[in-house]
Amino acid sequence: MSLSRRDFVNRSTVLGAGVLIAGSAEVLATAPGAIAAPLGGDAPAAGEGAHTALGYGPLVSDPDGILALPKGFTYRIITYTGKTTLVTGESTPSNHDGTAAFPGRHGATLLVNNHELKGKRSSWPHPVPLLEGHVYDPAAAGGCTVVEVAERGRQVREWVGIAGTSTNCAGGATPWGTWLSGEETEDRAGQNGMTKDHGYIFEVDPYDQEANRDPKPVKAFGRYPHEAAVVDPKRGHVYLTEDASGPNGLLYRWTPPAGFHHGRGRLRTLADDAGVLEAFKCFDSHGKLVDDLSRATAIGTTYGVDWVKVPDRDAKTVSVRKQFKDGEITRSRKLEGMWWGDGGTYFVASYAREESPVQHDGQVWFYNPARRTVTLKVLLGVNKDVWADNGNFDGPDNITVSPHGGLVIAEDGEGQQHLFGTTDEGRTFPIARNEFNLGTAEEPEYSEFTGVTFSADGGTLFANIQEPGIMLAVTGPWHRLRRHH
């Protein structure tokens, strides 16, 4: 049964001030290295040995300068821009981003990989090739490739899924085995060299290249700077994040029209105005509007959720997020990765600065559709020592629910860049560190991690170093994480 605003307020009052309703999902309360910093304060340093006692142990530096991993773990390069090629002979496109893994035939894995390339094709040395019949806008550089990794990695093949899209950032896997790729842009035809409007979701089928011919945007999901998307397999809702500022972005829910049933090829049949697109609106235990998610400064904070209809989802004259007045919806800076799990969706607010009421270096929330509540699971305090290898992480971006417990999160922050995990209690630990230096020894620069996703059997973690564009497969002694008290 859904929890109405009145029910939420009444129940919260009965439980007492400051005691909030817990959802049914496992609580990911944070711990050393990711401690809730009151009112945007500094993140305290991890205690001595705090992270070596968790997860898989300390990271061992890589003599090849690619990826530091715990002892016993190894990585393999799957694709590498400028070095690996597509089946048609062109270079693997650059700027790897959101990725999902699908089981292939005979033990293979199929990975759909976004390429976050914004603007004109001439701006990029390695754009997504314009495969005949698979192009939306021939002026745009982005798109998706499909990577087939044979069992035990004996062979890798890569081909174009769709091309001619822009700034393909994150997305999400569907229950019917396709990928929803989001354009993180609002460019219209005539802007930045584009010949068509952009800012849409596109569906990519990893199993059937013919199904990807004549790419069609799913306009029913709205036009705005898309990040990630997930599908509620029970109710059919689609949840979508927006990474935007001026004003901050929104979390959206699309409700399918009556009689619509999801499945392969079904999204193509939707009218541009099919279903209902809404933005979320949170309220506290007193029924007061929460204007921005950064207001939450304590793990376990839970808000009730209402949904408000978007007036013009195609943003014909005004950006979707600007169509709402203050007091109508809840905003958040840098709403990024999402992943469905535990009966709801985890989603990330990467960081908050002066554009938000309270500063932080990352939040992970969980939306429970059955209760219509959202709960803060992980909060990263402001990290001012971004080069210290002390377990203080910042800037969470892409996420996945780990088959071994907790979450795996790709870091897109300042300084060092990690893949890090959480236990079921939410304690954080490093899994990998990017050692591919794009800068100099005196002024090092490391690209963000993206595209974290596990193979169907849980034995391989795939992830990308966005620049120059490297897809990696990590294997090792994965195990169910033990609880630490």
Q: Concatenated DSSP letters for 1-27?
A: ----HHHHHHHHHHH-TT-----SSPP
The shares of helix, strand and coil residues in the chain, as percent rounded to the nearest 5, are 10, 35, 55
Out of 388, 423, 451, a domain closes at 388
The pLDDT, as a whole number, for residue 154 is 73
- Token code pair at residue 321: 């997020």
Looking at residue 110, its amino acid is L
Q: Are residues 316 and 457 in the same domain?
A: no
- The parts of the chain modelled with pLDDT lower than 50 are 1-2, 11-52, 485
Q: Are residues 284 and 402 in the same domain?
A: no
CA atoms within 13 A on the CB side of 83: 8
Q: Are residues 453 and 342 in the same domain?
A: no
Out of 388, 412, 447, a domain closes at 388
Q: Is 192 left (phi over 0), alpha (psi -120 to 50) or beta?
A: left
Element (H, E) at 234: none
| Bridge-based pairing state of the strands 289-290 and 302-309 | unpaired
Q: Are residues 206 and 134 in the same domain?
A: yes
Q: Are residues 321 and 429 in the same domain?
A: no
Q: Are residues 382 and 396 in the same domain?
A: no
Note down the domain range covering 379: 5-44+89-388
Q: Are residues 327 and 370 in the same domain?
A: yes
Gap between the Cα atoms of 113 and 101, Å rounded: 9
Structural domain count, the chain:
2
Q: Are residues 345 and 394 in the same domain?
A: no
Q: Are residues 146 and 69 in the same domain?
A: no
State CA 282 to chain mean position distance. Answer: 21
Q: Which residue has the tokens 């009966």?
A: 343
Residue of 65, 78, 115 whose CA lies nearest to 95:
115
- Token code pair at residue 170: 């994150």
Q: Are residues 105 and 82 in the same domain?
A: no
CA angle in degrees (0–180, nearest 5) for 102-362-35 = 115
Q: Are residues 203 and 270 in the same domain?
A: yes
Residue of 204, 253, 24, 189 whose CA lies nearest to 98:
204
Out of 388, 403, 424, a domain closes at 388
160 Cβ contact list (under 8 Å, min separation 6) = 86, 88, 128, 129, 131, 134, 143, 144, 145, 146
Do 467 and 436 form a contact (C-beta atoms < 8 A)? no
367 Cβ contact list (under 8 Å, min separation 6) = 239, 251, 305, 344, 345, 347, 373, 374
The pLDDT, as a whole number, for residue 187 is 97
CA atoms within 13 A on the CB side of 460: 25
How far does the chain reach from its first CA to its final CA, in angstroms? 34
Q: Are residues 75 and 173 in the same domain?
A: no
What is the 8-class DSSP label of residue 331? B
User: Is-cis flag, bond preceding 225, omega within 30?
Assistant: no
pTM: 0.90
